[in-house]
Amino acid sequence: MIYDGLENIGTYEHPSKRMKTASAYLRETDLDGLSDGIHEIEDRDVYAFVNTFTTRDQEDALFEIHKKYIDLQVLVHGAETIYYALTADLEPETEYDPEKDILFLSGETRIVAPFRTGEFHLFYPHDAHMPCCHLDGRQEAKKVAIKIRV
């Protein structure tokens, strides 16, 4: 897990060409102007999933992990809390869905991280995270999740 301000996104370009592609897209795109849904950047190797949502109670959420993609999440507007845990400490709640590249888990939170406009979180496939939860009460937020194939 990496947590930083969006202005520092270029610092994390080193791991791969695909990370550089994602970083350039975030710097060069009007993120607020993107419509909800999928926006292909480099076929399905790098794409953006845009979602406008209302935050939820932690009790109504589950942890998630991915196997095929790194998740680079940018909060375009709003605020939320993201909870983290070690995957080894969690129990599966669903079967892994290869089509959606997601497995839901439950268990005890290890880290609580506020997430505000203009910040990003980078989740590697093993990073268990519970996004979209309330920070300062229920509110609407918009997020761009860049999916980067590993």
> CA 18 to CA 41: how far, in whole Å?
10
For 148, phi then psi, to 5°, come to -120, 110
Q: Which domains does the chain have, with CATH numbers?
A: 2-149 (2.60.120.370)
Looking at 46-148, list the stretches that DSSP marks H as alpha helix, in order from N- to C-terminal side: none
> CA 71 to CA 103: how far, in whole Å?
14
| Model confidence at 71: pLDDT above 90 | yes
> CA 48 to CA 108: how far, in whole Å?
30
pTM of the entire structure? Answer: 0.90
pLDDT digits (tens, 9 = 90+) for 86-123: 898 999 999 999 999 999 999 999 999 999 999 999 99
pLDDT mean over 25-50: 97
pLDDT mean over 46-73: 97
- Per-residue pLDDT, 11: 66
